[in-house]
Each structure stands twice: as C-alpha cells, then as structure tokens.
Amino acid sequence: MPLFGAKKSTRASNASVAVKRSRASVRSPGANTTSGDILTPSGQKIASNQSNSDSDPDEDKHPEVSPATDVTIYNEYEMGPAFGCKFPLPFIRFMVERLINQKFKGKTYQPGDAVKWVREVADEVNLKMEGMCRQPRYKHVIQAIIYQQNGAGFFCGARAIWDKLADDYTSLTFDGGTFMCIVVIFGIYQY
C-alpha cells in the first residue's frame, strides 16, 4: 500500500497507451498505401519515405540508422598503471643517492644531530618526490633510519599487502664511517 494515502493508477495509464497505439495503427481499408506511409487516425496519408530522384539519399535517412564513425571509446576504470607510468625507481634512486651524499658528506655521528638529520632527510626526499617523481595514482612511503656504528647489530623489516605488478620499492644505504643511514621508499599504486 502506498504511503500517505496515494493511490496507484496503473490500469488507467496502461489502457490509455493501448488505445493510442490501436488508433495510430488503424488503416482505412482500400486506401492506397505503401509500407513507408504515415497515416493519421482518420486514415489520411501524411508523408511517404519514398525519395525523389533529385533529392539527396543521405538527407532522408535518420541519423541513428548509420553507426557513428567518429566515436572513441575510453576505458572508464584503470586496472593498473599505464605502460611506462610505473613508479620511476632508477630516477628516484639517483635523486636520493645525490641528496644523501650531499647531506652527510664529512659529518660524524652525534645523538642530538641524528634525530634532526632523520627528519630532514625524510622531508627533503618527500618534497623531491612530490615535485619530480609524481606519478598518477601512486602514493609513496619514506622510511629513514640513522644509527651509530659501534659494533652492535641492527635489524629492520617491513611487511605489506603487495601487488608485485604495480607496487615497487627501492632502498639506499649510506656509510658515513661513524653512522649508517638507510632510506627506503615504497611506491604503492591505488586501485
């Protein structure tokens, strides 16, 4: 039952459509008609689809009769990165290697400075990635680590749900003598 007391009137609308169809399709018996003639409800002939010999045959055709030839179909949804638009690892590796070498050349490890260096390296790599290495639908994650070389071991790991066809990563290591700097950059494609 419809809300707020409204009543459905489907029978009346269907009946009026049926009447209109039957009136339009009535032909008067004995009339001289061809298959392309259009008739009024009273049976009078209005027009014919037969073309004269002096008129252009393309003018008489309906525009939807022939298929459109100037239509280009584009994919609505990309299922992965386009050819040649993957995460640009060689360029990123070159850029980060230059940045780290310039930043840490001739420096020694100081605990107070190491905290500042890690933030600066991560921020500078992020800015360069935004400016020079931006790829459509890619997000990047930057991990920077600085630790002192004093004989202790260091272990680091990462886990992620990974699409090996679209996602990629690169890592760089800088040996400063008294410290090590490791920068890892992950490029993740957004579906």
Say what the pLDDT of residue 108 is: 93
Does 57 have pLDDT greater than 70?
no
Say what the pLDDT of residue 182 is: 95
**Total-model pTM:** 0.58
Our count of domains for the chain comes to 2
Residue 108: give the domain boundaries.
89-189
Say what the pLDDT of residue 69 is: 76
Quick check: 90 and 133 in contact, CB under 8 A?
Answer: no
- Cα three-residue angle 161-134-127, rounded to 5 degrees: 100
Q: Are residues 51 and 119 in the same domain?
A: no
Spatial CB neighbours of 173, under 8 Å, sequence gap ≥ 6: 180, 181, 182
Does 187 have pLDDT greater than 50?
yes
The answer to whether residue 74 is domain-embedded is no
The answer to whether residue 66 is domain-embedded is no
Q: Are residues 159 and 117 in the same domain?
A: yes
Residue 4 DSSP code: G
The answer to whether residue 165 is domain-embedded is yes
What CA–CA distance (Å, rounded) separates 137 from 189? 6
pLDDT in tens, 68-123: 677 777 767 778 888 888 888 999 999 999 999 999 999 999 989 999 999 999 99
Quick check: 129 and 142 in contact, CB under 8 A?
Answer: yes
Residue 51 DSSP code: P
The answer to whether residue 97 is domain-embedded is yes
The answer to whether residue 67 is domain-embedded is no
The answer to whether residue 69 is domain-embedded is no
Reported as half-sphere exposure (CB side, CA atoms, 13 A), residue 123 has a value of: 7
Token pair 């790599």 is found at: 125
pLDDT in tens, 118-162: 999 999 999 999 888 888 889 999 999 999 998 888 888 888 888
pLDDT in tens, 13-30: 444 444 444 444 444 444
Q: Are residues 181 and 98 in the same domain?
A: yes
Mean of pLDDT values over 181-186: 95
**Helix H or strand E encompassing 154:** none
Count, in order, helices (H) and strands (E) of the chain: 4, 5
